[in-house]
Amino acid sequence: MACYLVHMVHVPTALVTGGNRGLGLETSKQLAEQGYRVLLTARKLEDAERAAHELSGNIRPLALDVTDRESTAALVHEVAQLGRLDALVNNAGASLRGFNADVARDTLATNFFGPMQLTDALLPQLTEDARVVMVSSRMGELSVLGSKLRQRFAQADLARRALLDLVIEFVAAVERKDHQRQGWPGNAYSMSKLALNALTRVLSRELRSTGVRVNAVCPGWVRTRMGGHSATRTPEEGARGIVWAAMLPAGGPTGGFFRDGAAADW
């Protein structure tokens, strides 16, 4: 009797946070078009399901609130049942009105601590050459800081503990209302993206013995609910750079900050 070998074709899997609208939805669409199975997440499962119905391709809707540890744990359990991840796109973000210590804490919880905790929790589920993408912003450039703080963030060997201490310092300074005197920005969103950019570099060093590549991407000013109607770029344009980073070839860059596939100063 003849024997036949069946070669299973690997279908790459990407998880996109905040995938139910705007950049997350468009990123999910483009990755699905590239042949990825997309795990599309939203804080509410019904929102993820609604978004998944808008797209064609292999889309799996899942619930995830990146600020909720129980929600993150539940997602990690589901991902473990579905297989390993080839790409993780940390897209979920918040831009809140006003500026005080509470706004700073809430913004950092979503835009910085959320991606950090989710990435840490999903590390065992990443393939050996997975791609991690942090959706960031040019508003998080080092230039928003005073010179002394800029030097501390820009250290090539900045450790995770030191980065966390800096983030805590920022919130404390806002609470004391002396953040400007200390050289901190007066914008929580800007600070959260700056911290996310720094985290990208920290993670890339922590994972340097693996093939995992970690990069931050600025999609530009995009016409989404957050970006507003006056923004200069379409979601399609903004998502292309995110998808580029999620599909980097072996040996691609890591620890960088990019826009449209080109390195940018942070």
- Please give the positions annotated as active site: 189
3-state SS record for the chain: CCCCCCCCCCCCEEEECCCCCHHHHHHHHHHHHCCCEEEEEECCHHHHHHHHHHCCCCEEEEECCCCCHHHHHHHHHHHHHHCCEEEEEECCCCCCCCCCHHHHHHHHHHHHHHHHHHHHHHHHHEEEEEEEEEECCHHHCHHHCCHHHHHHHCCCCCCHHHHHHHHHHHHHHHHHCCHHHHCCCCCHHHHHHHHHHHHHHHHHHHCCCCCCEEEEECCCCECCCCCCCCCCECHHHHHHHHHHHHCCCCCCCCCCEEECCEECCC
